A and B are shown apart, each in its own frame.
Chain A
Amino acid sequence: MAQYSPKLNDGQPVLEDYFLDNKNLPVEEMAVGAVNPLDQMDCRADSNLMEQGPGSFSPQISKKVSRIQEEENPEEEQQEEEEDEEEKEGNELGDPAVLSAIHHVQRRHKSSPGLKASSMLGMSPVSLRFLCQTLDYFSPAPFQPTFPSASSPARCFGPQQPSPDPSLFYSPPASWPPRFSLRSHLTQLHPQHQRILLQQREAQRCGHKHQSPRVGKLWSQKPDPYADLMNQREKDWVIKVQMVQLQSENPRLDDYYYQEYYQKLERKQADEELLGRKSRLESPKLVTPYIQKAETYESVVRIEGSLGQVAVSTCFGPRRAIDAVPHGTQEQDTAIYNQKLQVLYRIEKMFLQLLKLEENQKNMLAKPHFYELQSKQLEKIYQALRTDDQDNSEEAANGFLQILSVRKGKVLVARLLLLLPRDQAVHLVLSITSHLPFLIRRDTADQALHMLFKPLGKCISLLAFNELLQGLQGLMVLQPGSQERPITVVLQNQFGISLLYSLLSHGEHLFSLNCSLEKHSRSDLAIWTNMVVLIAWEISHMSAASLAEPLIVPSNLLSLFCRYVDKQIVQQLEARMEYAPMGTELTCLRKLSCSSTYQSVRVEVQEGKIL
């Protein structure tokens, strides 16, 4: 019916005429006039509205609009004029003013999008919105195409965007020139459409490099109405929430990596400061707000370490109680299984204690009496680890060895060795060396003995000479159950041979330190010499292929062997121990010639007296 014509210019003279009719009233007064009709409508034409209803009202308005706006449809005008005469009196003041006001708004809004139309009218946005809405209400369907922008200005009357284009809200007719703002943040065009428009644009701007002026405009320094959308309180709240998640009672446990990293950083800074960088930059510390942890109520019963809930039988969900009685058909297997479980359980308990110890060590280095605390704990673990009877021939029953058979047990012992006092550590080392073949056999699956090597190496350097001899002697003892000597097994295993070498090296070291032979008893010396010779013999007579490659080869070993054994053996040893230097060989030979104990030992070996 009433079509919205784009040719607003044509409508303009009509309006101005109308304004002139009203004796050149300024816009504001027009606005006032516009407002009042509504009130008047309310009170005067109330009965009208109520009785006539929305349907009847609408044609009047639409007719008014078309009357104002369109000059080019004489037919409609005639029609309208006919109908208008009837009810013109009642609504004459109201409608045209209102309509003109709205139309005025539209026009203005179109030409200068940045300005708020409500301020133009001198009305508050609310009242104008109300105006539009009432009109909308009174004439739903036919009204809408007439005033497509009537509602949109109302919507725009919030905080204004830098460049909103109200034309966006129109459903544009085909004749409408595309005046879309491509760069407007409100536009979401199909990529194809975008491309087409861009092409058009580029056609206009010939040869000009395509900048994005509107984007530049967006980032300009204009007063930002959205700047404090989040006030400081809200920001602090978000930060607080994040910080609360970070805090914990045991940060070294909960947040281990960050703590380590931070300590490393601090250490580095401290080093740098020591080196001479006087200006110490305080790295920002993470300070978490202290918030009392709320008492958490555990509504569900949980067993520590289990996954999931405890099975509870209620009247709503009766559950069959799990049969916990063992069946007993596999007696032997369960015994071994239980034993294994026992060992694992022991390891776990000791591990927890060890972890606590290590924690304390890291934290409490400053405290004076931490050592006492430590030692008590250490003693506890040690006692748990030791076997009651050390001469337990049943190796399988030896608790310590059982623990060592498990990978985790090895880890435990390795870490514990670093913390134990000397005597206890030595005791453990000796028990390891005396039962080496057993351990090696048990380790074939894991191949985890290597982790023990480093701590053992450290402990070996603490050994006294007699203790060392004790350890070495164990290797030569012929085991009751087997034909071969433990040393053969040891030499074939990488860990074993490395351990052996380090033991020998330490012995040599001790020997060279105390050159005056009176320090050691005669028997000790004899034992030492025997050991060395035997070991050398064993090594040389073992095929090079079956010898394991040691983890480290101490440098003083060959010279050690040179002193006690003959040339042949030395040569073989050399080959096996992968020593190339010719120089050492010569020095060895020279040493040989003046060795005094050599002859006697050789004889004894040949006689098989030394075992």
Chain B
Amino acid sequence: MKDERNREKHLVLLRDGRTLIGYLRSIDQFANLVLHQTVERIHVGKKYGDIPRGIFVVRGENVVLLGEIDLEKESDTPLQQVSIEEILEEQRVEQQTKQEAEKLKVQALKERGLSIPRADTLDEY
């Protein structure tokens, strides 16, 4: 926040895998964040889509990392921006294929008498 004119966008990665991009307005010692004009960016393959979300107050324990976005570099990404609908559709398809693959795997293991304990949340082990 050096200069009002050049606003610095920040990218936050949350523990549940969401990516938020917005202006970081406030932070405290627990890394609780206040994000302004936030956009949730969903990435599927080479495509991404932005969903505007508004103001976010994120509890610090859910933050994985926070970084500043280089506004110049932001424009030259190899990624392609698509509409929200399209990206949501892509995400749904990806989830579906993943689930199907998982199901097959579990089935195969079951046939062999093995089982993998399911992780209920992404980062608990």
Contact = CB atoms under 8 A, between A and B. Distances in A.
- Does chain A bind chain B? yes
Given A221-B6, A226-B25, A242-B29, A215 B39 contact: yes
A186 B52 CA distance: 9
Interface string B48-91: 00101111000000000000000000000000011111001000
18 contacts: A182-B52, A184-B52, A185-B37, A185-B54, A186-B54, A195-B84, A198-B85, A212-B50, A212-B81, A215-B50, A219-B9, A221-B5, A223-B5, A226-B23, A226-B25, A229-B34, A235-B1, A238-B29
B27 interface: yes
A234 to B, nearest CB: 8
Contacts of A229: 25-26, 34
Contacts of A210: 82-83
Nearest to A183: B52
Interface of B: 1, 4-7, 9, 23, 25-29, 34, 36-39, 50, 52-55, 81-85, 88
Contacts of A199: 85
Nearest to B36: A226
Contacts of B1: 227-228, 230, 235
Interface string A175-190: 0000000111111100
Nearest to A212: B50
Given A227-B4, A228-B1, A191 B52 contact: no
A136 B54 CA distance: 30
A607 interface: no
Contact of A224 (B7, B38, B55, B81): B7
Contacts of B4: 223-224, 227-228
Contacts of A198: 83-85
A69 B36 CA distance: 40
A520 B13 CA distance: 74
A238 B15 CA distance: 22
Contacts of B37: 185, 218
**10 tightest Cβ-Cβ pairs between the two chains A and B:** A227-B4, A241-B29, A185-B54, A210-B83, A229-B25, A185-B37, A224-B4, A195-B85, A230-B26, A218-B37
B29 A187 contact: no
Contacts of A184: 52
Nearest to A195: B85
B66 to A, nearest CB: 13
A229 B24 CA distance: 10
A187 B52 contact: yes
Nearest to B82: A210
A218 B23 CA distance: 11
A194 interface: yes
A185 B88 contact: no
Contacts of B27: 230, 238
Contact of B28 (A191, A215, A226, A238): A238
Contacts of B88: 191, 195
A188 B53 contact: yes
A202 to B, nearest CB: 8
Interface in A194-241: 194-195, 198-199, 202, 210, 212, 214-215, 218-219, 221, 223-224, 226-230, 235, 238, 241
Interface string A373-398: 00000000000000000000000000
A188 B54 contact: yes
A128 to B, nearest CB: 25
A227 to B, nearest CB: 4
Contacts of B84: 194-195, 198
Nearest to B88: A191
A160 to B, nearest CB: 14
Contacts of A212: 50, 81
Given A183-B52, A187-B52, A195-B88, 5 more contacts: A182-B52, A215-B50, A224-B23, A229-B34, A230-B1
A291 to B, nearest CB: 14
Nearest to B55: A185
A231 to B, nearest CB: 10
A229 B28 CA distance: 13
Nearest to A239: B29
A407 B53 CA distance: 59
Contacts of B55: 185
Contacts of A215: 39, 50, 52
Contacts of B38: 185
A228 B1 CA distance: 7
A235 to B, nearest CB: 8
B59 to A, nearest CB: 16
Contacts of B83: 198, 202, 210
A235 B1 CA distance: 10
B39 to A, nearest CB: 7
Nearest to A219: B9
A229 B38 CA distance: 16
Contacts of A185: 36-38, 52-55
In this complex, which of A188, A226, A238 has the most chain B Cβ atoms within 10 angstroms of its Cβ? A226
Nearest to B25: A229
Contacts of A241: 29
Contacts of B50: 212, 215
A309 to B, nearest CB: 28
B118 to A, nearest CB: 27
Contacts of B5: 221, 223-224
Contacts of B7: 219, 221, 224, 227
A140 B28 CA distance: 42
A176 to B, nearest CB: 22
A411 B83 CA distance: 62
B122 to A, nearest CB: 22
A191 B53 CA distance: 12
A186 to B, nearest CB: 6
A195 B92 CA distance: 14
Interface in A539-575: none
A397 B83 CA distance: 80
A219 B75 CA distance: 12
A158 B54 CA distance: 17
Nearest to B29: A241
